[in-house]
Amino acid sequence: MSTPIDATRTPAWADLSARAADFAPDLRAWFSDDPTRVERLTFDAADLHVDLSKNLVDDGILTSLLALADDVHLADRLAAMFRGEHINTTEDRAVLHTALRRPAGATPELVVDGQHVDADVQAVLEAMSAFADRVRSGAWKGVTGKTVTHVVNIGIGGSDLGPAMVSTALEPYATAGISARFVSNIDPFDLAHKTKDLDPETTLFIVASKTFTTLETLTNARLARDWLWTGLAAAGAIDGSDAQKQDAVAHHFVAVSTALDKVADFGIDPANAFGFWDWVGGRYSVDSAIGLSLMVELGPEAFRELLAGFHAIDEHVRTTPFARNVPVLMGLLNVWYTNFLGAQSHAVLPYAQQLSRFAAYLQQLTMESNGKRVRWDGSPVTSDTGEIFWGEPGTNGQHAFYQLIHQGTRLIPADFIAFVNPAYDLNDGGRDVHGLFLANFLAQTKALAFGKTAEEVEVEGTTGALVAARTFPGNRPTTSIFAPALTPRVLGELVALYEHITFTQGVVWGINSFDQWGVELGKQLALQIAPAIEGDETATAAQDASTRALLSYYRAHR
Ligand code: F6P
């Protein structure tokens, strides 16, 4: 295990601290003094056109941030990840989500720990495609001979958020008359609500769990199995014998997991199970077999396009000098805001309603990855880590929380994401509605950067105390990510962009971005508390006073 470098003791960190101490950003002046700023700070990464010019950086800061990347040996760490070294030290695993999107026939062949990674990845993709084709063509039949109209993915965290986000984002590509739903929460409402209007005879469940031990997923899978059996029995389709029940499961359940033995224990035919490997982290798994629901809904070709988009950004990050490397630059800017300018959170504001789940997806990707307080050798970090990611699509957010970003006291760097061409081209009495939508995207980044001075407010006739209230300070940093359209390929590029941003930040902070021990304690305690909920007095007595009081409220009202 290599020793992480303490970034806070590097010359670049000292230099950045000095720059931050007397930093007085002035985007108005920077733009007017430097006609080349926009051109110099705009970069293309595959189909993503990324304008960094409205960030609070000058050339000196950028140079120091790039020096910081060198000081922490970012290039070596990136290479180690792509090579399959065990950079996930606490779990002693390689980190190879980038291998999931290498094209067929990529050279040189990737062999890691004796595994022929490329061949295994392609074999699973082919099995997924064959299965998806059968379902989409109607060749796959339910137990009563009907074709599938709905797939229900049962999973949580990385086994839910990625597929759910992509399914919403690429809804216009779902053309086979099959739609996907996603059940994740152990709150029984979730499964009940999502199956309420479904016909068991035409529903196919995909149980998606890397470990196949996750409480929520296995509970929901059992509930779904009961729902299937009850529905089929009520329709007279099965008689309730074990053999018929098993046959129903074989026709209506498939699974995705790294633990195929556990899949068989659940009663799902291993022939209907799709595998992946421990070197794919849950939050990095949408491009693995975890994306099976997407392949069924969108088709194998769209899924391959999604993978091609991921790969295009992998190649960008791997081969582009850091001074023009978009994920690296964006990661370093996030470090600048977090560690030197005191930002606590980061807004992601897609101007695409289809990306309504993108912030939720990014929350797991970034916060489960970088919400750490010790470095990869167990030593405590000496700087803040892990930004809080949040957001909603514009223009909805404009009428909710943008006020705080424009005029509040906090610094909130924001990524704006927009697409030149709409999924649905509507016009309002001859007026292009998408154009109007994009005018808002442009207006918001402009207002945040340049604000509105008191003089400008007064010229409009405002006087007195109202002047201050109507003044916008500006110098609120934004990145604009523009792309031609929200295609599968572009979506893959966007996700990979954020994966590598997250990686860059993790390396600067010296943390392992690929474990998630912080979710364990709550899981353990839930299992200890469950008997207390059910009335076990010993388990109840073992709880703290607050938990005991809440339990007694529960019992009084249940
Ligand atoms: O929340 C912890 C976690 O392990 C995530 O990292 C993971 O994506 C999720 O649970 C689901 O795990 P699994 O796919 O094994 O069911």
Closest ligand 1 atom to residue 214 Cα is 16
Say yes or no: 369 and 293 in one domain.
no
Clarify whether residues 495 and 549 are in a common domain.
no
Q: How many residues does the chain have?
A: 558
The verdict on 222 and 275 lying in the same domain is yes
Q: What is the pLDDT of residue 3?
A: 86
Q: Hey, which bits of 266-367 come out as E strands?
A: 273-275, 345-351
Domain final residue, candidates 238, 272, 301: 301
- Take atom 6 of ligand 1 and give the residue whose Cα is closest: 282
Could you tell me where the beta strands, DSSP code E, fall in 476-533? 478-485
Which protein residue's CA is at the shortest distance from atom 2 of ligand 1?
519
Kindly state if the Cβ of 144 falls inside 6 Å of ligand 1. no
Same domain, 427 and 503: yes
Considering its fold, how many domains does the chain have in total? Answer: 3
Would 82 be classed as within a structural domain? no
* CATH number of the domain that residue 241 is part of: 3.40.50.10490
Does one domain contain both 549 and 498? Answer: no
- Token duo for residue 34: 């430097």
Looking at the structure, do residues 326 and 289 belong to the same domain, yes or no? Answer: no
Q: Do 224 and 257 sit in the same domain of this protein?
A: yes
* Report field, pTM of the whole predicted structure over 0.95: yes
What backbone torsions phi and psi does residue 88 show, to the nearest 5 degrees? Answer: -85, 85
Return all residues near 546 (Cβ < 8 A) that are at least 6 apart.
none
Which of 91, 214, 292 is the pocket-test mutation for ligand 1 (most atoms within 8 Å of CB)? 214
Q: What CA–CA distances, in Å, run from 396 to 25, 53, 243, 415, 422?
A: 29, 25, 52, 15, 17
Ligand 1 atom at minimal distance to the Cα of residue 155: 16
Q: Is the CB of 157 under 6 A from ligand 1?
A: yes
By alpha-carbon position, which residue is closest to atom 16 of ligand 1? 209
* CA dist., res. 158 & res. 26, Å (int): 40
Checking DSSP bridges between strand 431-432 and strand 345-351, what pairing results, if any? unpaired
Instruction: Judge if the beta carbon of residue 159 lies within 6 A of ligand 1.
Output: yes
Distance from residue 59's CA to the centre of ligand 1 (Å) = 41
Q: Are residues 52 and 121 in the same domain?
A: no
In a domain, 162, yes or no: yes
Last residue of a domain, one of 271, 301, 331: 301
Same domain, 460 and 543: no
* Residue 98 located in a structural domain: no
Query: Residue 326 C-alpha to ligand 1 middle, in angstroms?
Result: 29
282 touches ligand 1 (CB under 6 Å): yes
- Which of the listed residues 213, 516, 521 should we mutate to test ligand 1's pocket, taking the one with most ligand atoms within 8 A of CB? 516
In the chain the first and final C-alpha atoms are separated, in Å, by 52
Q: How would DSSP label each residue in 50-99? A: EE-TTSS--HHHHHHHHHHHHHTTHHHHHHHHHHT---BGGGTB---GGG
B/e letters for 307-318, b = 16+ CB within 10 Å, e = fewer, are bbbbbbbbbbbe
Residue corresponding to tokens 């939508």: 437
Q: Which residues are catalytic?
A: 368, 399, 523
For residue 283, give the ligand 1 atom closest to its CA: 8
Looking at residue 1, what is its pLDDT?
Answer: 63
Question: What does the pLDDT read at residue 543?
Answer: 97
User: Do 179 and 150 meet the contact criterion of CB atoms below 8 Å apart?
Assistant: yes
Nearest CA to ligand 1 atom 3: 157
* Residue from 88, 90, 184, 210 to probe ligand 1 pocket by mutation (most atoms less than 8 Å from CB): 210
Q: Are residues 247 and 191 in the same domain?
A: yes
- Measured from the CB, is residue 90 less than 6 Å from ligand 1? no
Per-residue tens of pLDDT for the chain, all 558 residues: 678 999 999 999 999 999 999 999 999 999 999 999 999 999 999 999 999 999 999 999 999 999 999 999 999 999 999 999 999 999 999 999 999 999 999 999 999 999 999 999 999 999 999 999 999 999 999 999 999 999 999 999 999 999 999 999 999 999 999 999 999 999 999 999 999 999 999 999 999 999 999 999 999 999 999 999 999 999 999 998 999 999 999 999 999 999 989 999 999 998 999 999 999 999 999 999 999 999 999 999 999 999 999 999 999 999 999 999 999 999 999 999 999 999 999 999 999 999 999 999 999 999 999 999 999 999 999 999 999 999 999 999 999 999 999 999 999 999 999 999 999 999 999 999 999 999 999 999 999 999 999 999 999 999 999 999 999 999 999 999 999 999 999 999 999 999 999 999 999 999 999 999 999 999 999 999 999 999 999 999 999 999 999 999 999 999
Preceding peptide of 321 cis, ω within 30°:
no
Q: How many angstroms does the Cα of residue 453 sit away from the middle of ligand 1?
A: 49
Distance (angstroms) between ligand 1 centre and the Cα of 222 equals: 18
Taking the C-alpha atoms of residue 339 and residue 343, their distance in angstroms, rounded to an integer, is: 8
Residues 290 and 336 in one domain: no
**Is the beta carbon of 549 within 6 A of some atom in ligand 1?**
no
The domain in which residue 548 lies consists of: 520-557
Identify whether 258 is preceded by a cis peptide bond (ω within 30 of 0): no
**Ligand 1 within 6 A of 288 CB?**
no
Q: Which atom of ligand 1 is nearest to the CA of 285?
A: 8
Question: What separation in Å is there between the alpha carbon of 364 and the centre of ligand 1?
Answer: 10
User: Which helix (DSSP H) or strand (DSSP E) does residue 390 occupy?
Assistant: strand 388-390
| 404, 484: one domain | yes
Ligand 1 atom closest to residue 290's alpha carbon, by position in its atom list: 14
